[in-house]
Structure 1
Amino acid sequence: MLRSLLFALAIGTAGSAHAQTAPSASDIASYTGLHLAAHEGDVEEINRLIAAGADVDIRDRSQRTPAHVAAFASHDDALIALANGGADMNAFENRVYDVLTIAAVADDPKMVSLAMELGNAPDLITSVYDGTALIAAAHLGHHDVVARLVEGGAPLDHINNLAWTALIEAVVLGDGGADHIKTVQILVDAGADKSIGDRDGVTPLQHATSRGYAEMVEILK
């Protein structure tokens, strides 16, 4: 009984793992300089401010850099301009998210690839769950993002502080539907270790079997 309660609590907690905080209306109203230009995708203004000596990694009250703001707003060209101006592509905001994980959670495959091209490392340990961008994307069934992260060299078998890998999260936190099935297939095809269990030793196959996820079971056998 206790184990079941703890498992349910873990699922409920992990369910909010993707609950990043985008700039609020009040944040945006307070923005000036590079934060405002990043939010608006104003590349010309970004370049002008950087040339004038603006701090390209200046932080807002939630420790977001302009690069984080550009990622939340899905402004690819703004992110490129910031990176070309020396922005730290591996910086974390106050919830321990980087540009790559922000893009992964937003299901923005193009920005995921772009972030890695601009120097955002795919193996950073992100979020309070000590996860990765790949785990966040697998959790949500964002299979196109998962594919790009795998191609970019993201660690397949990282274990977060819930004792779950990306493969386990795709099963345990997924709905067994097409998106999560594709996610599982991509991870397995890439060589994710199917034998790694959770903290109780329960493997992805056993989780899929207990949930009646027949297509996942076939992939994981």
Structure 2
Amino acid sequence: MRRLLRAAAILAGVVLMTEVGEAQTGLLEAAGRGDLAAVNRLIAAKADLEQRDGQRQTPLLLAVAGNHVAVAKALLAAGASPNAQAANQDTPWLLAGASGRTEIIAAMLPLKPDLTIRNRYGGNALIPACERAHVETAKLLLTSGIDVNHVNNLGWTCLLEIVILGDGGPRHQQVAQLVLDAGADPNLADRDGISPLQHARKRGQSEVARLIAAAGGR
């Protein structure tokens, strides 16, 4: 009987250690693979929501990267930070903007993400969203109070990135109109003094150029 009790105690201890270990490290793996059931179980087990991997990525950042919307929402509801910065300077908020994760951005907005944190290019979430023509994401970001005239380390605003790195097509036209309507300065030039309108004309982006000129661009 004593041997059976001892064996049962050892087994219970092993199970407990496994559960503790999973709570300490398993949330990263579960979030990264989009396993909502496992994430919810680990949240209930009081797992550390801000645990980090080797690149200092949090579970929420991994959920954003994988576009695991339900997992991201569960983590946010549990208190995960949209501002936790990884080694490459990404935060869940910044990556969601750059990746066009509109539904996740919507879930983050009530938490008032820190709009002063910059990515590795010195940019905010709006600049890459515009450059990649994530129209709906940009539209939502513009409701957050984000700086539409922020200049990144390259000396470019979101409007300049739309022109310089965009293709001038319909989606880039839409984000150009969005940021101009939101107060983007059409004459805020790059470090060489070249304006968005000049860049657009040089690249043959006639419709984007028309939009910029209509907003007072020179």
- Fold conserved between structures, TM > 0.5: yes
Which whole-Å CA distance do the structure 2 matches of 1:120 and 1:37 have between them? 24
Give every structure 1 segment of 4 or more consecutive aligned residues whose post-TM-superposition deviation is greater than 4 Å. none
Q: 2:162 aligns with which of 147, 170, 192?
A: 170
Which whole-Å CA distance do the structure 2 matches of 1:196 and 1:91 have between them? 31
Which whole-Å CA distance do the structure 2 matches of 1:155 and 1:106 have between them? 19
Q: How far did residue 130 of structure 1 move?
A: 0.4
Moved more, 92-101 or 106-115: 106-115
Q: How far did residue 32 of structure 1 move?
A: 4.8
3-state DSSP of counterpart to 2:142: helix
* Paired positions, count: 190
Which whole-Å CA distance do the structure 2 matches of 1:124 and 1:95 have between them? 16
Percent sequence identity is: 38
The aligned residue for residue 142 of structure 2 is 150
Structure 2 spans left out of the alignment, 5+ residues: 1-23, 214-218
Where do 1:134-213 residues align within 5 Å? 134-213=126-205
Which whole-Å CA distance do the structure 1 matches of 2:50 and 2:112 have between them? 15
Which whole-Å CA distance do the structure 2 matches of 1:84 and 1:103 have between them? 17
If the length of structure 2 is used for normalisation, what is the TM-score? 0.80
Q: How far did residue 188 of structure 1 move?
A: 0.6
Moved more, 71-80 or 165-174: 71-80
RMSD over aligned CA atoms reads 1.8
The aligned residue for residue 47 of structure 1 is 40
Tell me whether 1:113 sits opposite 2:93 in the alignment.
no
Give the letter for the 2:144 counterpart: G
The aligned residue for residue 57 of structure 1 is 50
Q: 2:71 aligns with which of 57, 71, 78?
A: 78
Moved more, 210-219 or 43-52: 43-52
Tell me whether 1:128 sits opposite 2:120 in the alignment.
yes
Give the letter for the 1:149 counterpart: L
Which whole-Å CA distance do the structure 1 matches of 2:44 and 2:134 have between them? 37
Which string of whole-angstrom CA distances, capped at 9 and with x for unpartnered residues, describes residues 132-189 of structure 1? 1100111112122111111222210000011100000000111111111111111111
Which whole-Å CA distance do the structure 2 matches of 1:79 and 1:211 have between them? 39
Which whole-Å CA distance do the structure 1 matches of 2:57 and 2:49 have between them? 11
By relative contact order (CA 8 Å, sep 6+), the higher-ranking structure is 1
Moved more, 172-181 or 34-43: 34-43
Which string of whole-angstrom CA distances, capped at 9 and with x for unpartnered residues, describes residues 42-87 of structure 1? 3343233233332110000111000001111212221222223222
Which whole-Å CA distance do the structure 2 matches of 1:192 and 1:74 have between them? 29
Which whole-Å CA distance do the structure 2 matches of 1:60 and 1:137 have between them? 26
Structure 1 spans left out of the alignment, 5+ residues: 1-30
Larger Rg: 2
Which string of whole-angstrom CA distances, capped at 9 and with x for unpartnered residues, describes residues 114-147 of structure 1? 22234433x2333221001100111112122111
Moved more, 208-217 or 78-87: 78-87
- The question of whether the paired residues in 2 share the 8 Å contact of 1:56 and 1:87 is answered with yes
- The question of whether the paired residues in 2 share the 8 Å contact of 1:80 and 1:118 is answered with no
If the length of structure 1 is used for normalisation, what is the TM-score? 0.79
